[in-house]
Structure 1
Amino acid sequence: MKTPPADTSEQVSPTTAPDSFDKLVGDADRAPEISLPRQTPFQRFWCTRVLSSLSFQMLAVAMGWHIYALTHSAFALGLVGLAQFLPMFVLTLVVGQVADRYDRRRIASICQGLECVAAALFAWGTFGGWISAPVIYVLAACVGAARAFESPAVASLLPGVVPRAQLSQATAWATSANQAAQIGGPALGGLLYGIGPGAAYLACTLSFALASAAVSTIPLRTKPVPRAPVTLESVFSGVRFIRSQPVILGALSLDLFAVLFGGATALLPIFARDVLHAGPLGLGLLRSASAVGALGGTIWLAHFPLRKRPGAAMFGGVIAFGIATLVFGLSHSFIVSLFALMALGASDVISVVVRLSLVQLRTPDEMLGRVSAVNSLFIGTSNQLGEFESGVTAGWWGAQTAVLIGGCATIAIALLWMRLFPELRRTRSLEREE
């Protein structure tokens, strides 16, 4: 699911991670021509993911609080998610072709550079006093377009960094990079926004710039696949491949609809300000809470990979996600809300790891970019379009009622998908089964 989603109160870094992390990265190429000999390719990949995710999480907090402060409208909050989703939807078939035909490191570096420029424009507009809701929507759309290219490029980069046999474990550790950033990013973004919106946007600018510089230094174990000519068949090949794989299709669609209806992230500024009365720092802590739980979940899965019945584990995680959403919607206590979001993140990460592992282990490398692009569209639909859906329903019925309805819908979808996709429920391995 999304989200995208995970952290603990203690971040994991490449130099202090558990033994399994060291063992994982130790088998990768050392790339002596790079000027950082002590870092393995996977460690650089992990650090790059942290920097990029940290930047985006800080920017999301700043944009959300800023637009709500300007408009006091739940619908306006939803429009920020819609502005980020539309470019992703329009560009899906294009970005997959780009990721499969060009150097994925260079694509990621360019996209993060463009996001750096967008964050700098946010800062300039804030200090200059000309920032407004329409400007925020336009810049959010620019960030969404850049991430539309970045996401499949980065996702399809991992199989070239670690051996295939370690890919599932590496996916869990790579997911922990996102979750580590989701711990520090929202809290740091909320703290900096409390100092001033411009301070938060400047921090995003610096972090995006560092990520852009770092990703281009990642050495790969495998050489790029020769470019095939672009045809109408190749453009839609990622969609056709997913349709032919009921296990992958079931995992992607389950994650999509569960988070689309069950996600409450877009409404956190309303809960922080009007329900829990926690302020910008409280908003940052709320956004970090689900990442805290998810980071704990990813570390657990990195040590104890899902080798048996991953599909059943995914369904269990989605149902637990719905229950945690209900608890959060009913809560008027800041502490209870934090723990509910932690549980939400821990259950969500099961779906994330299973979905990503299925895509990476069951997709040929020469079309991994196109399949990852469709996967990114599903993620974006559930996250950004889910934020729009949450804003609309909250505008109709109120924030708490919208979250409760979403939690019930998530549980209902999980039960329905068990019947619609029995192959996913019965699958015994992340690898392709004969």
Structure 2
Amino acid sequence: MTSPDTRAPADEQTRPPDPPDPPAPADATDPPGPADAAGTEAVVPLHRNRDFLLLWGGSAVSLLGSTATTIAYPLLVLALTGSPFDAGLAGFVALLPALLLQLPAGALVDRWPRRRLMIWCDALRALGAAVIAGAAALDLLSLPLVLVVGFTEGALTVFHGLAAHAAVPNVVAPGQLSLALSRNEARGRGAVMLGTPLGGILFGLGRAVPFVADALTYLVSLTGLLFIRKEFEAERSAGTGTMREQVREGLGWLWKHPFLRTTTLLVAGSNLMFRALFLVAIVLATDVGASSAGVGLMVGVAGAGGLAGSLAAPWCARRLGLSALVIAANWAWAVLMVVIAVSRDPFTLAAAYAAMWFVGPLWNVALGSYQLGITPDRLRGRVLAAMSTLSNGALPIGSLLGGLLLDSAGARTAAVALAGWMVLLAVAASVARTVRTVPGPANP
């Protein structure tokens, strides 16, 4: 799921003890224990796991660069055409692959070697960023070129992201999965916090500068991938069946697991609320006296809340049950949404908004650990793609809903409506038998 954040459901609690460890992936080491079986390797701590650090570090650098260009792209189009519509069109085209290509990308991620696929994605993304930088430097930029490169980079990012997420269980020990995912969450939140202002600063130095930096960050990621020793998938036979049959297999597997099916739908519902809330919170903040700088500070504090939640996720995981987490998270969001709806000063609003962002990573890590733990390696890309398509499909609807509510009813009424929606979701999570009786990860 995503948590409250502009990248998606804020896209997104308190974390349960990890579900019982699933059978180790093909090349994962067994958890440490008193020399039970001969030949058992000791588990390397995550901070000394060379392959994970290379994967994590390369992705962190490339995320920083791509986040910077999310600000630089609209600035570039505005400077090029002077049209806000063209800037919005460029953003829409860049995000379109995340909606259109998830399912086929998931099937191909399960069919092709994941590390090699990621290397090609980084190389082609670096080339695209270099093309934009070169065209900007030579004054040869055009809107069609920006749209083509933006769509291509967005498509490659879909493939890269699915492959990277599906690879994690193959580069860390099963007992480290929750910690690894929490580090990935922190990486993403940190990139948003640092990359957004960085993009504006670099663009101020020159139109080409953010895209040169972006190309270099992709090359850093590519270099790290070249030095990773482990494969990113278990041994598998060549894919059989048509693309449609393989996509249907991933969707069918997800549908047969009631807990994942229910939580995916809950994520979609909360993502809708979070995307609408992003606009509503900005208007509410100005209504209660926040300056434009104060609004920016509110979003920055919320990002820090998300980062703190990422770091707290493993600790919370050891103290809560998975079903309790799902129910508590939805009620926490409902209560905080009510606080936002009735807040009359910017400090209460900012604190409640940051708390919502804190809960998101706890939810992401908990559900992500459970889902990766029970999904067979050969299906991971497709199941991830199916869940992402279903949950993130609510994001454009949430954006549209937020705008409609603000136009027709005003910020305060819009916030009350979103609070009511979140209460309904919390009630649904509380009464759902599939949530209260979550199974263990055995027998995927």
The interval holding the TM-score normalised by the smaller chain is 0.7 to 0.9
Residue from 217, 220, 225 that aligns with 2:236: 225
1:8-19 to structure 2, matched below 5 A, reads none
Residue from 301, 309, 313 that aligns with 1:297: 309
Which SS does the other structure have where 1:156 is aligned?
helix
Residue from 375, 384, 387 that aligns with 1:372: 384
CA RMSD of aligned residues (A): 4.1
Q: Which residue of 1 aligns with 2:246?
A: 234
1:35-114 to structure 2, matched below 5 A, reads 40-63=50-73, 70-72=82-84, 77=88, 82-114=92-124
Deviation at 1:123, TM superposition (A): 3.7
- Unpaired runs of 5+ in structure 1? 7-22, 31-36
Give the whole-Å Cα distance in 2 for the aligned partners of 1:203 and 1:271: 33
CA contact (8 A) 2:75 2:87 kept: no
Deviation at 1:327, TM superposition (A): 5.9
Q: Quickly say closer, same or farther: Cα 1:248–1:273, change in 2 above 3 A.
A: closer
Q: Which residue of 1 aligns with 2:166?
A: 156
Q: Which residue of 2 aligns with 1:33?
A: none
Provide Cα deviations, 1:163-194, integer angstroms capped at 9, x if missing partner.
22322232222222222222222232243345
Which SS does the other structure have where 2:97 is aligned?
helix
Bigger radius of gyration among the two: 2
Residue from 246, 254, 258 that aligns with 1:246: 258
Q: Quickly say closer, same or farther: Cα 1:113–1:134, change in 2 above 3 A.
A: same
Q: Quickly say closer, same or farther: Cα 1:269–1:298, change in 2 above 3 A.
A: closer
Deviation at 1:353, TM superposition (A): 1.3
Residue from 27, 34, 41 that aligns with 2:43: 27
Residue from 169, 172, 194 that aligns with 2:182: 172
Provide Cα deviations, 1:89-134, integer angstroms capped at 9, x if missing partner.
3323321221112221122222233333343344445555666766
CA contact (8 A) 1:95 1:149 kept: yes
Q: Quickly say closer, same or farther: Cα 1:80–1:266, change in 2 above 3 A.
A: farther
Give the whole-Å Cα distance in 2 for the aligned partners of 1:189 and 1:399: 32
Q: Which residue of 2 aligns with 1:262?
A: 274
Q: Percent identity?
A: 21
More displaced, 116-125 or 241-250? 116-125
Give the whole-Å Cα distance in 2 for the aligned partners of 1:211 and 1:272: 40
Q: Count how many residue pairs are aligned between Structure 1 and Structure 2.
A: 405
CA contact (8 A) 1:331 1:337 kept: yes
Residue from 403, 422, 425 that aligns with 1:414: 425
CA contact (8 A) 1:247 1:421 kept: no
Residue from 204, 214, 224 that aligns with 1:214: 224
Give the whole-Å Cα distance in 2 for the aligned partners of 1:416 and 1:100: 36
Q: Which residue of 2 aligns with 1:2?
A: 2
- Unpaired runs of 5+ in structure 2? 12-30, 33-41
Amino acid across the alignment from 2:57: C
Residue from 207, 213, 217 that aligns with 1:203: 213
Provide Cα deviations, 1:310-358, integer angstroms capped at 9, x if missing partner.
2331233234345556666787977666544432221111221122122
1:391-410 to structure 2, matched below 5 A, reads 392-393=403-404, 396-397=407-408, 400=411, 404=415, 407-408=418-419, 410=421
Which SS does the other structure have where 2:241 is aligned?
coil
Q: Quickly say closer, same or farther: Cα 1:400–1:130, change in 2 above 3 A.
A: farther
Q: Which residue of 2 aligns with 1:389?
A: 400
Q: Which residue of 2 aligns with 1:19?
A: none
Which SS does the other structure have where 2:393 is aligned?
helix
More displaced, 93-102 or 404-413? 404-413
More displaced, 188-197 or 51-60? 188-197
